[in-house]
Chain A
Amino acid sequence: MSDTKKKWFSLNLNNTKKRTSSSCGCGKTEGGCGSHNTQNPIKKPKDGYQQVFDVKMDRRSAFKQLTASLAIGAGAVSTSCSMIAGEETKEKAQIDWEEQFKGNYKLMTDQEKNDTVNRLVRSYQLRTGKSINMSSKNAEEDVLFGYAFNISKCQGYMDCVTACVEENNQDRNSQMQYIRIHEMKDGQGFNFNEADDNYYHEVPAEGHFYMGTQCFHCDNPPCVEVCPVQATWREEDGLVVIDYDWCVGCRYCMAACPYDGRRFNWSTPEVPEEEVNKNQHYLGNRMRKKGVMEKCTFCVQRSRSGQNPACVEACPTGARIFGNLLDPDSTIRWVLENKKVFRLKEDLGTEPKFWYFMD
């Protein structure tokens, strides 16, 4: 991942750390994240949802989307019935058809979850010739994820932000980022109005401290309440997730979130093919399409297999602590029980599972 190819603005003046060519944010070249396919450089700049579904259409045929469900479906049927169509085209059409009319992931049986994941993997393979690894791993019993953030330790380097973007295949064009780091002046309390979350100078700046925000995975999430189609919900392990394929894009959840935790794909998200993290989860970092919500999932593809989220792993200061709230011996529990912790906007009753503390 050469820096010249990046579409976002980034200067690496003091960052002497040599970047490995791994596509996931863990920074390891072996073990760990698995599936680092660094060979086969790909030239095709195809990206985002188009990698999964080639739904490109010209302006004239865009009108079909007005009756899209049926139009796409009918199209798929007619292609699949066509005599000249090749086996692969037929299979693609079949997959598109089934994907268009599949149900809500939340209500699927394990078998159905597995089927949709296999379809998406196969679809990606048919279209790009590359294989990805997509999981549909369910929440584990006796797990409730929680997060703690040490505001005395954070120095505002933003390594977490970069790791998050790379891990979660976020749109590079709109520079979407789940995490924001707020630079606050000492002596003004937690005054977000005066804080700067888009600084660019040497950090830590004299007389300032840093506070990161992202989705807090509330235990009583207002975003989940308001979704008209239950496309977002809280999993048993406390993660608030979205079924990107079920979301209708009304953005009511976005208005309901008091923490700016949600992001919308205003246009088709683009990730250069060679930067795509191929270790994916259905509810996590798989490719999104335009017009759907997305958000931090505490890196469900990592956390459900025992790893820390990319931001925790990337943080050079150890300001970010992640763990299982139900495990009495976990470090997160020690922090909650021994440090003076607080949460943001606690008075709203949202019960975030994201605590701040100081040394």
Chain B
Amino acid sequence: MNMYRNIKKIGFSFLLAFLFLSCKNEDHGYHSVMDKIEGEGKSYKGVSVSSESYIDHIKTMEITTGEHTFLIPERKSKIKSYKCTECHAKPLKETQLTGSAKKAHWDIGIVHADKNTMNCISCHNGDVMDELKSLTGNPIDFNNSYILCSQCHTKQFKDWEGGAHGKRIGGWAPPRAALTCVNCHNPHDPHIASKWPVRYNSVKAEERK
């Protein structure tokens, strides 16, 4: 009978050893990943990698809006017919034609809000043709066109400032560079058209038949 007892003891000690070994050791003891971010983020000292080299082929400019400072692509040099004053030397009123003459910029249709709300001079400055203007008539530089958009699209603008709307360029590493509104949205027709997806997985379709 003694032997049985011994064997039982051995069995139990095996079991205990297994149980002990199987205790998982959680690293650093964070309860959730949010706790971990908070805990380890406290001592954040910055990173050695930079995304500068990935945007050096783009002409960028630094802007500060709200609490955020970041780079956006410079705009004026990308507009083919800029400066506008190269044609529109005089303010709009003085160059306006009447009658049947062909309109300038006839190819631009405005598909942006309705006619009640928007026309050309809602954004373009009729007096200083090289600039845009705010609703109250203050000048806005073509490079800072986001300020113009922000007048109505406040929610999108807030998200864009923070980084939830729009597209980051370069990489995740600092410095932060993002596309500005007009890099994606045509200001005269801001809706993005639908298209076909670029691929179809025929193998998956076959598997699920």
Binding site for B on A (CB under 8 A): 8-15, 28, 30-32, 140-146, 148, 150, 153, 155-159, 161-162, 174-175, 177, 181, 197-204, 219-220, 302-308, 312, 315-318, 321-336, 338-339, 351, 353, 357, 359
- In the complex with contacts A155-B194, A312-B168, A324-B47, A334-B163 CB distance below 8 A: yes
Q: Give A234 Cβ to nearest chain B Cβ, in Å.
A: 9
Cβ 8 A contact of B164, one of A199, A220, A322, A335: A335
Residues on A with C-beta less than 8 A from B92 are none
Judge whether B51 and A318 touch: CB under 8 Å: no
Who on chain A is nearest to B36 by CB? A219
B196 contact from A14, A316, A328, A359, Cβ within 8 A: A14
Q: Are A321 and B196 in contact (CB under 8 A)?
A: no
Beyond A11-B196, A334-B163, 8 additional contacts (C-beta under 8 Å) are A13-B196, A31-B57, A142-B43, A219-B36, A317-B167, A325-B41, A328-B44, A359-B164
Interchain nearest-CB distance for B158 vs A (Å):
8
How far, in whole Å, are A220 and B29 apart by their CA atoms in the complex? 12
Residue of A with least CB distance to B204: A198
**How distant is A233 from chain B, measured CB to nearest CB, in Å?**
12
Alpha-carbon gap, A334 to B160, bound state (A): 11
The answer to whether B53 has its CB under 8 Å from any CB of chain A is: yes
Q: B203 near A: Cβ within 8 Å? A: yes
State whether A303 and B172 are in contact (beta carbons under 8 Å apart), knowing that A175-B204, A359-B155 are contacts in the complex: yes
* CB of B182, distance to nearest CB on chain A (Å): 14
Contact present for A202 and B194 (CB under 8 Å): yes
> Would you call B167 and A315 a contact (CB within 8 A)?
yes
Given the contacts A140-B47, A219-B36, A322-B172, A158 and B163 also touching, CB distance less than 8 Å? no
Q: Please tell me if B171 contacts chain A, counting CB pairs below 8 Å.
A: yes
Size bracket, chain B contacts: 35 or more
The verdict on A15 contacting B196 (CB below 8 Å), with A307-B54, A326-B40, A326-B44 known, is yes
Cα–Cα, bound, A219→B27 (Å): 11
Indicate which residue in A30, A177, A203, A304 contacts B197 across the interface (CB closer than 8 Å).
A203
**Total A-B Cβ pairs within 8 A:** 180
Q: Is the CB of A325 within 8 A of B163?
A: no
Chain B residues, CB < 8 A from A13: 195-196
Nearest CB of chain A from residue B163's CB, rounded to whole Å: 3
Do the beta carbons of B50 and A200 come within 8 Å of each other? no
Say if the beta carbon of B159 comes within 8 Å of chain A.
Answer: yes
Which 8 pairs of residues, A with B, have the shortest CB-CB distance?
Answer: A331-B163, A306-B173, A306-B49, A318-B167, A14-B195, A307-B171, A334-B162, A219-B33
Answer yes or no: B37 CB below 8 A from chain A CBs: yes
Given contacts A8-B202, A324-B172, A351-B32, contact A200 B196 (CB under 8 A): yes
Identify 16 residue pairs between A and B in the complex whose beta-carbon atoms are under 8 Å apart, listed by A's number: A11-B196, A12-B198, A140-B47, A153-B165, A157-B195, A200-B197, A202-B194, A304-B49, A307-B172, A308-B171, A324-B172, A326-B44, A334-B162, A338-B162, A351-B32, A359-B156
